[in-house]
Amino acid sequence: MGKSREEEHRAFLDWLIETIDEHKVDALIVAGDIFDTGTPPNYALELYYTFLKRLCTTTCRTTIITAGNHDSIATLNAPKEILGLLDVHVVSSGEEDNSERIIKLYDNLGALAGVVCAVPFLRDGVVRKGVSGESHQEKEAALIEGMEDYYNEIADAAQEIIGKEPHIPVIATGHFTTVGGQTSDSEREIYIGSTMNIPSNFLAERFDYVALGHLHRSQKVGSGCDHVRYSGSPIPLSFSEAGNRKKVTIVGFDGAIPLVEEVEIPTFRNLYRIKGSKEEILDALKEIEDEEGWTEVEIIDDNTYAALQEIQEYADAHNLTLLAKKVTRSAASVGITELEIVDLDEITPLEMFMKRLELDDMEDEVLREKLITEFKTIENEVATA
């Protein structure tokens, strides 16, 4: 939406350095999506390296960075050797040797205090040996099986390291969507062509704590189990996350038993989401006195052009920033059932195509299905090109 988040990132990293010292954190895990893009801008790289250097002045002795689906393996790997000197471990593809992807944590006296199985976002080819002509269901089953095998193998290797000392915790990381995880609008679909949900029971059984990345909402996974968690993103990444509390998770261990504490991250910029008629939106805007905040309005009005203009004028006069303006026309005014015009970056290509199909009263169901299948094929080709 043409706005930089640099200020918020900077404020968060400052806060994180302070929080690490305050809670005497020994090790930091960042479970992926270090960057939002494979080619991060220079300011973001500078923030990243400066942060890692500043960590050396805190209580944190070991840092583990695992790649997410947005990260480029090459970008993360480039400084890997020099970061190793700062005890920052970068694991990016999942194809690393055990000596690299299993990281030992030591206490002040140099005794082994924990083992981290650092697992990044696993690309399809790493967990599943592709066989052509498989059905969608077969592919999905093979992927889930491949993930389980991967985690079981690394868990076995970790058990060998701790030997007969069950009081040493074994921690794992991961980057994927689990069954039952709560998503928001802004996690891009990661397994192309499928809404892959990985069952996580096997994780809970094999590890003493699992730190997951990818979902933006801070949450634990599965009921009655406290030790498989998403920390969530440090700042909201879309207006759909406007009401979320952002957190970091601090985990202590009593033997191998995890003691979890959630620490709320301060809000560095407020996001507001307002939906309603022109009058309702204007009333809600009057309540906002925060000139630093960003607002999304969704208007329900038949004369949206005039209404939006009035809303924008109000915002300009009061130094409020409207970033997204959505329009919902009443069905009567457009003659079809529900036409929503939203920002292009909030709609997937397939959703757009489905909306286009809705405009045609297509009676031939077979043709309709065929068009959708063809569209998905083309989308896959483009996405994997």
Q: Which stretch binds Mn ion (CB under 5 A): 15-23, 129-137, 212-220, 336-344?
A: 212-220
Q: Are 86 and 79 in contact (CB under 8 A)?
A: no
Nearer to Mn ion, 9 or 329 (CB): 9
Q: Which stretch binds Mn ion (CB under 5 A): 17-25, 73-81, 213-221, 241-249?
A: 213-221
d(CA 317, CA 312): 9
Nearer to Mn ion, 33 or 241 (CB): 33
User: Total residues at the site for Mn ion (CB under 5 A)?
Assistant: 4
178: nearest Cα among 203, 157, 149: 203
Least distance CB 67 / Mn ion (angstroms): 9
Q: Which of residues 53-92 bind Mn ion (CB under 5 A)?
A: 68-69
Q: Which stretch binds Mn ion (CB under 5 A): 125-133, 208-216, 319-327, 355-363?
A: 208-216
Q: Which stretch binds Mn ion (CB under 5 A): 51-59, 161-169, 211-219, 323-331?
A: 211-219
Least distance CB 38 / Mn ion (angstroms): 13
Beta strand spans in 23-151 (E): 27-30, 62-66, 88-91, 102-106, 112-117
Q: Are 230 and 241 in contact (CB under 8 A)?
A: no
Position 275: which residue type? Answer: K
d(CA 361, CA 35): 43
**Which residues have CB under 8 Å from 234's CB, separation 6+?**
9, 12, 16, 246, 248, 265
What mask, x for binding Mn ion by CB under 5 A, covers residues 31 to 60? Answer: --x---------------------------
Q: Are 173 and 92 in contact (CB under 8 A)?
A: no
Nearer to Mn ion, 114 or 213 (CB): 213
Q: Which stretch binds Mn ion (CB under 5 A): 9-17, 39-47, 209-217, 285-293?
A: 209-217
Tell me the backbone φ, ψ of residue 276, rounded to 5 degrees: 155, -165
Residue 214 binds to Mn ion (criterion: CB under 5 A):
yes
d(CA 98, CA 154): 8
Q: Are 177 and 197 in contact (CB under 8 A)?
A: yes
Q: Which of residues 252-311 bind Mn ion (CB under 5 A)?
A: none
Nearer to Mn ion, 70 or 325 (CB): 70
346: nearest Cα among 323, 364, 366, 368: 323
Nearer to Mn ion, 114 or 120 (CB): 120
Q: Which stretch binds Mn ion (CB under 5 A): 166-174, 210-218, 271-279, 294-302?
A: 210-218
Nearer to Mn ion, 218 or 295 (CB): 218
Residue 124 binds to Mn ion (criterion: CB under 5 A):
no
Least distance CB 291 / Mn ion (angstroms): 32
> What is the CB neighbour count within 10 angstroms for residue 207?
26
Nearer to Mn ion, 190 or 322 (CB): 190
Express the helix, strand and coil content of the chain in percent, nearest 5 each. 40, 20, 40
Least distance CB 223 / Mn ion (angstroms): 24
Q: Which stretch binds Mn ion (CB under 5 A): 25-33, 129-137, 195-203, 291-299?
A: 25-33
d(CA 96, CA 140): 24
Least distance CB 59 / Mn ion (angstroms): 28
Nearer to Mn ion, 16 or 215 (CB): 215
Q: Which residues of 57-83 are buried (b: 16+ CB within 10 A; e: fewer)?
A: ebebbbbbbbbbbbbbbebbbebeeeb
Residue 181 binds to Mn ion (criterion: CB under 5 A):
no
Q: Are 298 and 310 in contact (CB under 8 A)?
A: no
Nearer to Mn ion, 26 or 33 (CB): 33
Q: List residues binding Mn ion (CB under 5 A).
A: 33, 68-69, 214
